[in-house]
Amino acid sequence: MEVDFTCDAYETTDRFNTYYPANSSSDFSVFHLNIRSLRKNFTNFQALISSVDHCFDILCLSETFLYSSEHNYFPIPGYSFIGNSRDTRQGGVGLYVRSGIEVEEVPVSLEGAEAVSVRLVGAGVSSLQLTCVYRRPSSDQRQFIDSLERFLSPLRYQKHLIVGDINIDILKPDSDFYTDIHQLYNYENILNIPTRVSPSSSTCIDHILCNFDDFRINSGTLQTAISDHYGIFAVFENSTNPARVGAKCFRNLKFNENDIQKVFSTVEWTEVFNSNDVVHAYEIFLLLCTKIVAPLITLRPKSRSKTKFSAPWFTPSVDREATKRDMLAKKAREFPFSPVHTNRYKKQRNRVCALLREAKANYYNDLLSKTTDPRKLWNIINLSTGRKNPGQQKNSCPKEISTGSGQVSNPQEVLNELNNFFTTI
């Protein structure tokens, strides 16, 4: 299968924004980043998304380093989070799905990897499945590929995207066994440039696999200072299938009242009036009305207004400093053995981290100082600490707790144990 795509590398968000301004609602797009701890880099990730003009439909993350109980702690307004964690300070994957897109989680199990898979459900269109994968570099490559083949086999005739850090360098000849498998099932990697560059290596270990070719795809890398991996993305331009996947449809009925009266006046209602059976007469009446109205009705996908996320504390001055950091990072990559460029970049990187923390703290402190309403006060506290986020589950009760007699996972028993504990303190 030949997929029509263009793949480019973007060194800064400013350059990316030149080619990808605020996008059309008919475009469907995904972004992936190996974030190396969402807890540590959440503020930097918010700043990155704020500095990009394009509104991605799904943000994929690998190596989130989260426990499953922490999935609701890092909200991004306008997105809901779905994750699969190793429940250790290692690995893990997660998806931020933009509000307005309906998804249902699909079970997935890959050997030596964490994965989360969702099906984007739409009305009147074939569904698209998206899977985010992180394969541990120490895991057995053959076992992973065998399990990947078992996963792909039943999805042969379904539109499917696989995004993630696979830790297999497709720029090397020894990756043929991996590429042969996904080509066997008509998948093509729409990234063919390095996604992780160091002074001693240049590898393409972050992939976007696609098994459909019915529209134009723009893909590429976006260099960031968050981790040693580049962000990777794919934009499906004016796509008639995935762009509207997840969009609810509504009936669009347009007619002139005088015209509809004329149409109804020409209908022969004799069979309805002459019927002695009320049920039969109603069925005939309904059938005739349907024949009249049906041509006037069209199903139109509900407009998915892409309200781009922008952190309110991400000020223009901080944005300028972040841009300066990205330019210095580019220089440091061009001259990896130059201590001057490396030290300049590290100094600016640390400066931006401090500015982000300060800007975020000042923003919420200012909100708190101006609030006298207790309800609004708690809303601000919950929002700033990630305890309240539209689109996330409202139930924050832990799914499982440890007691003196062992693990308790039954929801009612968990509530009873918590109640007993807090009433006896």
Spelled out in words, what is the top-level CATH class assigned to the domain 5-244?
Answer: alpha beta
Residue 408's pLDDT is 84
**pLDDT digit string (tens) for 5-54?**
899 999 889 899 998 887 666 688 999 999 999 999 999 999 999 999 99
Where in the chain are the domains? 5-244, 249-301, 316-373
Which range among 119-128, 153-162, 188-197 shows the weakest confidence by mean pLDDT? 119-128
Q: Examine the pLDDT at 58 and tell me if it is beyond 70.
A: yes
pTM of the model: 0.77
Mean pLDDT over all residues of the chain? 85
Q: Which residues contact 223 (CB under 8 A, 6 or more apart)?
A: 9, 10, 11, 12, 230, 231, 326, 329, 330, 333
Q: Examine the pLDDT at 2 and tell me if it is beyond 80.
A: no
Mean pLDDT to the nearest integer, 334-350 = 92
Residue 122's pLDDT is 58
